[in-house]
Structure 1
Amino acid sequence: MDETEDLLSFPPLKRQRYDSQTRSHPTASSSFFFHDGDIVLEVEQHLFKIHKHRLKCSVIFSDMLDIPQPDVIDSMHGCPVVRLMDSPQDWQVALRWIYDPTGFRLIPEPVPFPLIPSALRIATKYEIGALRKWAVGQLRARWPSDLERMGSSSLPCAAEAIALARECDVLEILPAAFYALSLQRWCYNAEGGRSHLVLSPTDIRRLIVGRERLSDVCKQILFEPLVSRPAGLPFDACHQCREPLQRYWREKVMSDPQSPVECWLLRELYTIATQRDELFESAICAQCLAWHKDVAWMRFYGLKASIPQFFCL
């Protein structure tokens, strides 16, 4: 088992309750229990015996360790003990970064998602600036503000990312995370099907409202593919190009019934605007092709600007 797998398999994220008998026998960490450590962190039933100077990267711990300590303090294994109300897995990840930040940054991309919330929670709570910067960067890479940069890695764990963004104040990822989650069909047991277990009632409502508004945009193009804006007149395409244009746009907004995701309209629009479809475009006259490209850009920018409002963000 490599180090990344060891981090992921450490303890479950859900906190467990212990009776008094179990509580008196905490377990030493197999990875972070150093014989020359000079402080013990007790997290639930797990002990981390580490070095005080390693905690200086945290503003909170740095300030705490600079305060003169009383003569009588709790001790364990010959060291002062600090009891923390956190997840053992979160500290396992954070300590991996604290002791080996270079190796941590060399974890192959994409970084397993469970590492990110663990790192971000500890970094935010204890003010570890460099670790928070890394974790936020990982979230932004998956759910970028430039929504056209979203890829397949944006789909898994989108609901968890929304909840984490709320918890740790990384709100800039919300439009992309909501959009990624809205694309997923619940009937395929994809990420969307777990949203009610992760999201707040308010964010579930945002998700539902956003899905409906995105569906309305697709329907508008499906019903009137040559109308470039609501309540506008249809483009006066030439007789030769009218039917191919209508068919092309309708095909682009129709969802594949066998796909676990709905029509990824923003990606489709960006592809139409930036890439050449040789077979289709060679059959369209210059005037109609110019309209086709212009309306692709217009629809793309309009949808991109509207997505935050669609989800009431």
Structure 2
Amino acid sequence: MSTTLSSPTRQRIAPHPNSMSNANATKDAVSARSEIWMPYGDIILQAESTQFRVNRDVLARHSSIFRDLFSVPQPPNEATVESCHVVELSDAAEDWAWVLEVLYDPFGQQARLKFNVLAAMLRLGRKYEISQAHDDAVSRIRYEFPSDFKAFNALDADMARIEYRRGIYCDLLNLAYECGIYSSIPLLAFCCLREDNLETIFTGVRRDDKSYTTLSDDLKLRMALAFGRMALFQHQSLFWLRDETVIPHPSCQSPTRCTQQKNAMVRIVDQDHEGQFNLGYTIDQWDDRWTGILCAVCEDAATIIYDQERAKGWEALPSFFGLPEWKDLKDLD
């Protein structure tokens, strides 16, 4: 398996070549008018069987693709719908509904975006060079899944910018892989393995709406290899739970008790995945369930060695998935 991620094909994509369409043909094909129907709009976008009446200047301001399109004069005898030319697009109508809502009401967006909104902003933003939508989506993914250890440690669930649901990590991993946000792939892949076992990942993770998401074959292979590598690394990094090099500490006043409590810590690690190590201990912060189990001296010593080992896990994280080092993981944009 290659240690590099193949770049998806990048090309400048313009709207349908027959963008200024015949009104009668359009009317026959259209079955729905979007809620986005601006009374002073001067252009109609058609995606699937849905039409959106919008403003050329808004599209041109945010998209160089549309700016170039509108710079080409259209034949005066072209048929129209409500005096507006029609631009036929090959994208999903739902995606355009989300993106247009972002363009027309940017302050109305939620602090946490749903995946469908994020994906539409990223895909259409990239395809039509709508930087406002594209850059916002990319920044949210990079914030939630950073390539910097300090940024990872500073993550706060209360400040999340992407709405969580079951299957979100697999969906985001596929999206990041598709759109070339390679710097977020190691942490996204780790989150997938932390949340679901390999069997579930391979057969499909069930979303909250009862649909299923699955990974590409290449990503599945990387996950399978990473599972074994991470399990081995974690077993080695938690050595201090299986010997007496750290606990009990030489200054411990209750060595017998702390030794017994250390065994309780091992059981906490094992119980999460039916006797197997919870892979989260590779890079996750100190488990709150461990806090207060040991005496203060032993806990301080344990947290120091734990943080040292998980820092090593972070540096090795890309390699678990057969990827280049952090410094060599470059996004397409």
TM range (shorter): 0.7 to 0.9
Report the count of equivalent residues: 278
Residue 60 of structure 1 and its aligned partner are, at CA, apart by: 0.9
Residue 159 of structure 1 and its aligned partner are, at CA, apart by: 1.2
TM-score scaled by length of structure 2: 0.70
1:308 equivalent to 2:313? Answer no
Residue 246 of structure 1 and its aligned partner are, at CA, apart by: 4.7
Match of residue 26 from structure 1: 30
- Going from structure 1 to structure 2, the CA distance change for 1:256 and 1:290 (only over 3 Å counts) comes to closer
Match of residue 74 from structure 2: 69
* Counterpart Cα distance in 1 of 2:217 and 2:201: 19
Asked if structure 1 preserves the Cα contact closer than 8 Å seen for 2:233 and 2:282, the reply is no
Work out which of the residue numbers 165, 169, 173 in structure 1 matches 2:184: 173
Residue 186 of structure 1 and its aligned partner are, at CA, apart by: 4.6
Q: Secondary structure at the match of 2:88?
A: strand
Asked if structure 2 preserves the Cα contact closer than 8 Å seen for 1:44 and 1:84, the reply is yes
Residue 124 of structure 1 and its aligned partner are, at CA, apart by: 0.9
Asked if structure 1 preserves the Cα contact closer than 8 Å seen for 2:230 and 2:282, the reply is no
Asked if structure 1 preserves the Cα contact closer than 8 Å seen for 2:34 and 2:51, the reply is no
- Going from structure 1 to structure 2, the CA distance change for 1:236 and 1:59 (only over 3 Å counts) comes to same
Match of residue 139 from structure 1: 141
Match of residue 115 from structure 2: 113
Q: Deviations over 1:259-306 (max 9, x none)?
A: 9x94421465x226x999334133xxx4x5564233112211011111
1:277 equivalent to 2:291? Answer yes
* Counterpart Cα distance in 1 of 2:238 and 2:289: 21
- Going from structure 1 to structure 2, the CA distance change for 1:262 and 1:225 (only over 3 Å counts) comes to closer
Q: Deviations over 1:12-40 (max 9, x none)?
A: xxxxxxxxx99933134331123432111
Residue 188 of structure 1 and its aligned partner are, at CA, apart by: 9.6
Q: Structure 1 vs Structure 2: percent identity of aligned residues?
A: 22
* Counterpart Cα distance in 2 of 1:117 and 1:181: 18
Residue 128 of structure 1 and its aligned partner are, at CA, apart by: 1.1
- Going from structure 1 to structure 2, the CA distance change for 1:23 and 1:30 (only over 3 Å counts) comes to closer
Structure 2 unaligned regions, length at least 5: 1-24, 207-211, 324-333
Match of residue 209 from structure 2: none
More helix by proportion, 1 or 2? 1
- Going from structure 1 to structure 2, the CA distance change for 1:186 and 1:246 (only over 3 Å counts) comes to closer
* Counterpart Cα distance in 2 of 1:289 and 1:40: 65
Residue 155 of structure 1 and its aligned partner are, at CA, apart by: 6.6
Residue 89 of structure 1 and its aligned partner are, at CA, apart by: 0.7
1:205 equivalent to 2:221? Answer yes
Asked if structure 1 preserves the Cα contact closer than 8 Å seen for 2:125 and 2:133, the reply is yes
Match of residue 65 from structure 2: 60
Q: Secondary structure at the match of 2:85?
A: strand
Q: Deviations over 1:217-270 (max 9, x none)?
A: 33335677357xxxxx956955936834752552353242589x94421465x2
Asked if structure 2 preserves the Cα contact closer than 8 Å seen for 1:158 and 1:177, the reply is yes
Residue 41 of structure 1 and its aligned partner are, at CA, apart by: 0.9
Residue 139 of structure 1 and its aligned partner are, at CA, apart by: 1.7
Deviates more, 1:240-249 or 1:158-167: 240-249
Asked if structure 1 preserves the Cα contact closer than 8 Å seen for 2:167 and 2:205, the reply is no
Q: Which amino acid aligns with 2:311?
A: Y
* Counterpart Cα distance in 1 of 2:302 and 2:53: 65
1:85 equivalent to 2:95? Answer no
- Going from structure 1 to structure 2, the CA distance change for 1:38 and 1:281 (only over 3 Å counts) comes to same
Q: Which amino acid aligns with 2:49?
A: Q
Structure 1 unaligned regions, length at least 5: 1-20, 228-232
Match of residue 55 from structure 2: 51
* Counterpart Cα distance in 2 of 1:161 and 1:185: 15
Work out which of the residue numbers 305, 308, 328 in structure 2 matches 1:295: 305
TM-score scaled by length of structure 1: 0.74
Q: Which amino acid aligns with 1:180?
A: C
Q: Deviations over 1:82-104 (max 9, x none)?
A: 11111101100011011111112
- Going from structure 1 to structure 2, the CA distance change for 1:293 and 1:154 (only over 3 Å counts) comes to farther
Pairs within 5 Å for 1:145-164: 145=147, 146-148=151-153, 149=155, 153=164, 156-164=167-175
1:41 equivalent to 2:45? Answer yes
- Going from structure 1 to structure 2, the CA distance change for 1:74 and 1:181 (only over 3 Å counts) comes to farther
Q: Secondary structure at the match of 2:204?
A: helix
Greater length-normalized contact order (CA 8 Å, ≥ 6 residues apart): 2
Deviates more, 1:236-245 or 1:199-208: 236-245
